[in-house]
Structure 1
Amino acid sequence: MKQNKIEFTLDLKKLLIIIVLVIGYSSFAQKGTIRGQVIDNFTDQPLEGVTVIFLTDSTIGTTTNAEGKFRLENLPIGRGSFGFSFLGYETATIANIDVTSGKEVSIDIRLTESYSNLNEVVVRSGPRKDQAINKLAAVSARQVSVEEITKYAGGRSDVARLASNFAGVSAPNDSRNDIVVRGNSPTGLLWRIDGIPVPSPNHFSTLGTTGSPVSALNPNVMGNSDFLTSAFPAEYGNALGGVFDINFRKGNTDKYEYTVGVGAMTGFEGVAEGPMGKDGSFMVAARYGLAGIVGGMGTGAIPNYSDLSFNLDFGKTKLGSFTLFGIAGNSTIDFNGEEDYDDGDLFSAPDENFEYASQFGMVGLRNTISLNDYSSIKTTIGGSFSGQDGQVDRIYDYGTPQANLLRFADIDNTETRLTLSSVYNAKFNNKFTFRSGVLLEQFNLSASVANRLDLPDNDGDGYPDYQQRISNDGGYTVFQPYAQGQYRLTESFTLNAGLHTQYFSLNEAFVAEPRASLTWQLAKAHSITFGYGLHHQNVPAPILFLNENVNGTDVQANKDLDLVRSNHYVLGYDLRPGTGWRAKIEAYYQDITNAAVDANSTGYSSLTEGSDFIFSFDELNLVSEGVGHNYGLELTVEKFLSNGWYSLATASLFEAKYEGSDGIERNSPFNNGYVFNVLGGKEFKVGKNGKNVLSIDSRFSTSGGRYYTPVDLAASQAVGYQILQDDLAFSEQYDPYLRLDLKIGMKINSSKRKVSHQFYVDFQNVTNNENVFIRQYNRLTNSVDQVDQIGFFPDFGYKIQF
């Protein structure tokens, strides 16, 4: 079944009956619980004796124990706010925490020491999710909450798709969750899980890419995380576009809890968590996908995918605390020619049989040990794995008596890496904090790609030649030492500065990258920030290890390409006009050099790679002489959830340009020009005591179309495969992208048991707008055809927590 051909009908009478029954199912006596840990914002040391108050009823309160942990029970069901105060620290208020009957709420709080008098308590009210968890990230950074991942309309419970709502991010492709940050290729994004860099954490991923149709990150195991779009702090390296720093949460240390659910895109899912040992905990979550069955992938083939995530906290020992965490994902899909295809299929063709499997996994063991009252060391040993295996058979002379089935492509890639990360944190006083560390990654890449893609018939057998395009079995090292600090010059001025260094063994390049940001708090509600960062990243592996046959020998001429270099400049202004509101405007400029371009005069640049499942196979003679630049203006206006409603509006105006070796400035394929998003939602208390919640959420998104290279139809017809007009590279633009989503959900808190139910229907692309997926040469129709993206699709889900 094809996504853009789904017919969906809804019996309104039955729906009204269901809603009436749900509203009548109200809650009477069931209470909720929150728990968590309070730590110092920089040293990660637990804070004992912090006062925790339920602000709606100040008689409900407690203090943290020696491990900084707290627990508040018998809380009324619904949203509540909580205050955290400690002598010598800025008081924090966490608002609108959703307390339910089915699951205890975990809140981890970081408190910042007061600037002036250590005996003075400075009150900072209101949520600050607009600020990153990492307080050394002062510009172009924000915190991502788990609730946002599951709440926003059209998000498919995918953290990568959530990011497309933020200023500076464009992702006008319903079939993939690539994150395009400020006009950079999605290959410029760095994924980290609990401090460990990882390959693309997605199902159906391919070598060198960072996105795919389906995420393998399970929101059930995630804690609040950071998303950075420019001028990153010194601890982040080997990235040009952005950083997604994912954190796993800990399991319940006091009680066993379970979650079971089913959804169109999330599939069947189950979570178990609870205490382990003296003061440790475990959490294990598994999912099995259903998207292919319900038609959410834009293809008639049925994809199979599953993932397993875990976080085992062994508690505190004499050698510090130990945590074992990891994730594993597996995905397969088979396209069987005419059986799975129609003219709206995004990925298959009637004359091809395609089998594909991918795997992703990572595991890490983290040790955190306190050296004294003001410093600690966090060391993590990890390993990750990413593999792809695929075979394509194509029917040549399709539909004729001469039809002949031949192997068209073979893919067998395996990337493994061993990682060692060690971070030293110290807070010497309330004005100066320091962080330094090393990150060592040892890669091993066994890659083999052979195909007939866009090749002539040199051997005279009547078919395109079959050629080995990538062949590699070896390793390389990335070594990244860094140091950074924060100095509070005055109560109004804060300086973050650091130095990141990087060694890349393939070309023996060593670079030093200064990073700095300055924040000026003009008044309580106004601040100005300036940031600068120098960043480098290696050219994607599929380009580095391309084969060129020279006198019968395969040569990898691109292996010695320089690291691509980018200078980031950011200027921002933040305004908090009232409690729960914020507005932010940022201007940025990025100057890119050392991009890989053809040694001959062409319009190719490595800055254009990463927009599809595959990379170029014919760029065999590259030099590091390409340039590019991105600049833009971004606006965010946000009302955090309070009084039952929230809203978010973002606008991005930008340009992304590059030059190939021909010296002509061209649009990047990621140069949409503009992106606008408007999101909003309202919660309604229903039932006799208002313990249940009906929610309505919506999202409107539009952006300029992506630039593409037109097809040379006559040349393509002559050879039987697509030939692009390279002299007109990325000179044409698809029509603007537009999409409207509407989500309706219900949360039911049991009146008698520790159980809660949640369900939703997410109507995606309500207007069934025909957004362009691609225009390409069709070898069967012998013409240039257009394929549209996924049309109207009703996502749904149900979850029970107990």
Structure 2
Amino acid sequence: MKNLIIILFVLSCGIFAQNGKITGRVVDRDTKEPLPGVNIVLIGTNKGAASDADGNFEIGNLEPGRYQIKASFIGYEPITKSEIIVTNVRPAELLIELKQKVIEIESVTVSSGYFNSDPYELNSTANFSYEEIRRAPGGFEDVIRALSVLPGIAQASPGRNDLIVRGGAPSENLYLVNGYPVQNINHFGSQGATGGPLSYVNLDFVRETNFSTGGFSVAYGDKISSVLRIDLREGRTDRLGGKATISATQFGLDFEGPVSGNSSFIISARRSYLDFIFDAAGFNFVPEYYDALAKYDHKIDSKNSLSFLFLGAFDKVKYNNNNSDDLYENSRILGSNQNEYLTGLSYRHIYDRGFYDISLSRNFFEINASQKDTNLTPIFLNNSIEGENTLKFDAVYKLNNRSEINLGVILKSVKFKTDIFFPQFVTSYGDTLNVGELKLNERYSKYAGYVQYSTTAGMFLFNVGLRADYYSFLTSRFYLAPRVSVSYMLDPSQAISISGGVYYQSPSYIWLAGSEENKSLRAIRANQLIAGYELKLRDDMRLKAEAYYKYYNDYPVSKLRPYLILTNTGAGFGGSTDNFSSFALETLVSSGKGFARGIEVSIQKKSSDIPHYGILSVTWNESIFTALDGVERPGKYDQKWIINLSGGYIFNSTLEGSLKFRFATGNPYTPFEPDGKQLVEKYNSLRFKPFHSLDIRVDKRWYFENFALITYIDIQNIYNNKSSNEISWDDRKKEVDVQSSIGILPSIGISLEF
């Protein structure tokens, strides 16, 4: 009993047996050159440091806890970084990028900023650090789920990562991991789209994310709604260390450390454990997944560096057909075994006025999907491979302290192979799909180039750029996309901005398989116009308001189903309940059009000397699309109002609590008739009831002599609101099956860092 009391006391108090430290590197944000002599101050203490000739600094002898630092340097804008977690087992390693001052205002002192700004993305961007993502309530420590609190983001389903950005489809989002393009970063991802239930990027190694919801620069293309950049950190350089984790859905083990004095490595492996629980509980459908990450960084010298990355996910499903009920339920599910990976090698060279990156990467996606009836006779089989080999060159050249040029070239070789068995299928609208057997084995090419000029003139900041894309597999192959953005600083605390441009996206590879005529499709075009206003209420708090308009043209639509436009597909697991719409295995034409427009207002407070943080966002938006029949209808993912409130309070250095509340107008849907049919004239004519939920989370840290313990309790949808978000037809009961969103879902997480 005495020993138990001692153990409980230790766990409640922790043992601060040794101190931690903060290390980092300071560079010019534009040229990436190291900055020596930068003053680094630990806010609230008398401790600090100055960066050396290589831009490196170290602040040691720190008690484990949460810190903020301020970095300042003559001729550069000061910056404040919060959410720096110091432990006794691993240094807190920072990369600080300072922006050169280009606007001087007399008698005005420029304060340090908590909000990072991108000089090339003047509108619609948000940054999240590792800690901000990790502690997000209801987020499963998932990179994508943490983004759902931002304005303009709708969720197709609370249980999935299908991002609906400003009225766009789930297929319209671009993912970049360390600059490498990735088709989808989710387990059990949707072919041709970008969603899935859970991201396979290990958050432990994410340094920060940058998310653009529109108006992004010419450096990014072949997607028309959003860009998510995920930057991974380097491995620790002091000694070998690691982390063991068990969370809501998975367990895993990480290792990292130095290889030599100028190189480091990271390796990680994770596995789901829900399949053990589902099997034991007798579930009819059992998912199982693994993922792995390996990273190696080598600094050749102060001007040259190499980096290697491998990121993989391996998913499979199991069917327990123990009785007639299991057989029926499984007959309604499109299940898939999937293997996907990203591997890449990049080289960076820093020169006097800038830098350039050269990268070679491969992104591979293999899917083996099937759906069978109650007699286990296949009604849909799909074996597909999508492989992309990408060679990229990106460069920045600074003309002077006010102007610079960005340029790049992208060469992509694609292999697309598919083997589909899809016998005659009658949709719920009465359309007959008669694909039969379909085999395709082709190679495609994608080429792109861009150039952008950025300059500051007085209180104005200008970006103007031009992008060219070439798609070898389309009849109309060449596309030019001009873009421009302007920002005007009214005073040091507020600015207005406007951006506009043309964006193109090639059709998903699977959309080309249904007919030879589909190669006559054009790239989807979206013209975007965005106006914004930003006000800094405090150093740690800002208000943003934006209005946007997107006009879509040349969207693929079905000739067989003239009411179907593919912007209404891509979310969920698809299959017969979706009439296999997302695969589009039929003749398509580029006759679809539509628009999305909206107004977004958000207030965000960063963690600072005031121990609370949060973001409130309010979005009004609508999306209207027209298919081949010429009828204007609301988009399937149209949500008129979206309100998010997320925030937390830091009680002390080891304990904090947070919550997230979300309200969203219901999505449109098509009702079923008493005979189980759906009518085209009622397509998307009704709406589900509004959805709202509250998530609550508590995080606690303990520090011991040789390890640190991080724990949390996370309760999603705490008042158990089961709003309907999808309907299907139950052929056995001859009635509508109304499917509800996830009810109350408690989870815990435990991480042991050593």
Aligned position for 1:769: 721
Aligned position for 2:689: 735
> What is the CA–CA distance in structure 1 between the aligned matches of 2:16 and 2:314, rounded to whole Å?
44
The match for 2:533 among 553, 559, 573 is 573
Aligned position for 1:336: 320
The 5 Å alignment of 1:84-483 reads 84-115=71-102, 123-129=110-116, 131=117, 134-265=118-249, 267-294=250-277, 301-317=285-301, 320-337=304-321, 349=329, 351=331, 356-370=336-350, 372-395=351-374, 404-452=375-423, 454-455=425-426, 467-468=435-436, 470-483=438-451
Cα separation, partners in 2 of 1:183 and 1:466, compared to 1, 3 Å:
closer
Cα separation, partners in 2 of 1:172 and 1:525, compared to 1, 3 Å:
same
> What is the CA–CA distance in structure 2 between the aligned matches of 1:140 and 1:450, rounded to whole Å?
43
Aligned position for 1:532: 500
> What is the CA–CA distance in structure 1 between the aligned matches of 2:251 and 2:521, rounded to whole Å?
45
SS in structure 2 of the partner of residue 276 of structure 1: strand
**Deviation, structure 1 residue 184:** 0.5
> What is the CA–CA distance in structure 1 between the aligned matches of 2:183 and 2:245, rounded to whole Å?
28
Cα separation, partners in 2 of 1:630 and 1:355, compared to 1, 3 Å:
closer
SS in structure 1 of the partner of residue 692 of structure 2: strand
Cα separation, partners in 2 of 1:300 and 1:675, compared to 1, 3 Å:
farther
Cα separation, partners in 2 of 1:543 and 1:711, compared to 1, 3 Å:
farther
**Deviation, structure 1 residue 453:** 6.5
Aligned position for 2:514: 546
> What is the CA–CA distance in structure 1 between the aligned matches of 2:239 and 2:727, rounded to whole Å?
55
> What is the CA–CA distance in structure 1 between the aligned matches of 2:545 and 2:377, rounded to whole Å?
56
Aligned position for 1:627: 593
SS in structure 1 of the partner of residue 425 of structure 2: coil
AA partner of residue 379 (structure 1): I
Aligned position for 2:577: none
Aligned position for 1:758: 710
Cα separation, partners in 2 of 1:600 and 1:393, compared to 1, 3 Å:
closer
**Deviation, structure 1 residue 353:** 8.6
> What is the CA–CA distance in structure 2 between the aligned matches of 1:175 and 1:545, rounded to whole Å?
30
Cα separation, partners in 2 of 1:630 and 1:467, compared to 1, 3 Å:
closer
> What is the CA–CA distance in structure 1 between the aligned matches of 2:6 and 2:271, rounded to whole Å?
28
Once structures 1 and 2 are overlaid, which stretch shifts more, 618-627 or 277-286? Answer: 618-627
**Deviation, structure 1 residue 320:** 2.2
Cα separation, partners in 2 of 1:546 and 1:466, compared to 1, 3 Å:
closer
> What is the CA–CA distance in structure 1 between the aligned matches of 2:317 and 2:700, rounded to whole Å?
34
**Deviation, structure 1 residue 466:** 8.1
Contact 1:95–1:126 (CA under 8 A) maintained in structure 2:
no
Deviations 1:384-436 (A, max 9, x none): 111111333322xxxxxxxx442222221111110011011111211001110
The 5 Å alignment of 1:599-638 reads 599=559, 602-614=562-574, 615-616=580-581, 620-638=586-604
Deviations 1:452-476 (A, max 9, x none): 46249xxxxxxx9984365321111
> What is the CA–CA distance in structure 2 between the aligned matches of 1:312 and 1:218, rounded to whole Å?
15
Aligned position for 1:515: 483
Deviations 1:542-589 (A, max 9, x none): 222114xxxxxxxx2212200110011111111111121111110000
Contact 1:596–1:625 (CA under 8 A) maintained in structure 2:
yes
**Deviation, structure 1 residue 37:** 1.5
**Which residues of structure 2 form unaligned runs of 5+?**
575-579
SS in structure 2 of the partner of residue 187 of structure 1: helix
SS in structure 2 of the partner of residue 128 of structure 1: coil
2:546 is the counterpart of 1:586: yes
Aligned position for 1:13: none
Aligned position for 1:747: 701
**Deviation, structure 1 residue 117:** 7.9
The match for 2:454 among 463, 486, 492 is 486
2:625 is the counterpart of 1:658: yes
Aligned position for 1:501: 468
Contact 2:666–2:725 (CA under 8 A) maintained in structure 1:
no
Deviations 1:171-215 (A, max 9, x none): 151221111001100100011111121111111113212011121
The 5 Å alignment of 1:34-53 reads 34-53=22-41
Deviations 1:121-176 (A, max 9, x none): 974313114x3xx4311111111221122111100111111111110001151221
Contact 1:448–1:468 (CA under 8 A) maintained in structure 2:
no
Aligned position for 1:4: none
SS in structure 1 of the partner of residue 517 of structure 2: coil
> What is the CA–CA distance in structure 2 between the aligned matches of 1:85 and 1:294, rounded to whole Å?
52
| TM-score computed with the length of structure 2 as normaliser | 0.92
Once structures 1 and 2 are overlaid, which stretch shifts more, 251-260 or 310-319? Answer: 310-319
Aligned position for 1:74: 61
SS in structure 2 of the partner of residue 147 of structure 1: helix
AA partner of residue 771 (structure 1): S
AA partner of residue 497 (structure 2): T
| TM-score computed with the length of structure 1 as normaliser | 0.87
Deviations 1:473-495 (A, max 9, x none): 111111110011210111x2111
**Deviation, structure 1 residue 600:** 7.2
> What is the CA–CA distance in structure 1 between the aligned matches of 2:546 and 2:219, rounded to whole Å?
23
Cα separation, partners in 2 of 1:439 and 1:354, compared to 1, 3 Å:
closer
AA partner of residue 744 (structure 1): V
> What is the CA–CA distance in structure 2 between the aligned matches of 1:420 and 1:568, rounded to whole Å?
28
The match for 1:30 among 18, 42, 63 is 18
> What is the CA–CA distance in structure 1 between the aligned matches of 2:387 and 2:561, rounded to whole Å?
36
Cα separation, partners in 2 of 1:421 and 1:386, compared to 1, 3 Å:
same
> What is the CA–CA distance in structure 2 between the aligned matches of 1:339 and 1:84, rounded to whole Å?
65
The match for 2:644 among 677, 683, 687 is 677
Contact 1:336–1:354 (CA under 8 A) maintained in structure 2:
no
> What is the CA–CA distance in structure 1 between the aligned matches of 2:282 and 2:230, rounded to whole Å?
28
Deviations 1:687-714 (A, max 9, x none): xxxxx52221111111011112223443
Cα separation, partners in 2 of 1:758 and 1:18, compared to 1, 3 Å:
farther
Contact 2:214–2:226 (CA under 8 A) maintained in structure 1:
yes
**Deviation, structure 1 residue 540:** 2.2
Contact 2:266–2:296 (CA under 8 A) maintained in structure 1:
yes
> What is the CA–CA distance in structure 2 between the aligned matches of 1:54 and 1:341, rounded to whole Å?
62
Cα separation, partners in 2 of 1:309 and 1:601, compared to 1, 3 Å:
closer
Cα separation, partners in 2 of 1:218 and 1:121, compared to 1, 3 Å:
farther
> What is the CA–CA distance in structure 2 between the aligned matches of 1:711 and 1:504, rounded to whole Å?
40
AA partner of residue 660 (structure 1): A
SS in structure 2 of the partner of residue 739 of structure 1: strand
Cα separation, partners in 2 of 1:537 and 1:576, compared to 1, 3 Å:
same
> What is the CA–CA distance in structure 2 between the aligned matches of 1:61 and 1:156, rounded to whole Å?
35
Contact 2:110–2:492 (CA under 8 A) maintained in structure 1:
no
SS in structure 2 of the partner of residue 164 of structure 1: helix
Contact 1:380–1:422 (CA under 8 A) maintained in structure 2:
yes
2:733 is the counterpart of 1:781: yes
**Deviation, structure 1 residue 619:** 6.1
Contact 2:78–2:113 (CA under 8 A) maintained in structure 1:
no
Contact 1:37–1:68 (CA under 8 A) maintained in structure 2:
yes
**Which residues of structure 1 form unaligned runs of 5+?**
1-16, 396-403, 457-463, 548-555, 686-691, 717-722
Contact 2:289–2:316 (CA under 8 A) maintained in structure 1:
yes
Once structures 1 and 2 are overlaid, which stretch shifts more, 589-598 or 646-655? Answer: 589-598
Cα separation, partners in 2 of 1:543 and 1:725, compared to 1, 3 Å:
farther
SS in structure 2 of the partner of residue 521 of structure 1: strand
**Deviation, structure 1 residue 328:** 0.8
Deviations 1:574-627 (A, max 9, x none): 111112111111000011111122447832212212123345266633221221
Aligned position for 1:8: none
Once structures 1 and 2 are overlaid, which stretch shifts more, 329-338 or 516-525? Answer: 329-338
Cα separation, partners in 2 of 1:377 and 1:336, compared to 1, 3 Å:
same
Deviations 1:714-758 (A, max 9, x none): 3x4xxxxxx4322322111111111111112211122xx242111
Cα separation, partners in 2 of 1:90 and 1:498, compared to 1, 3 Å:
same
SS in structure 1 of the partner of residue 149 of structure 2: coil
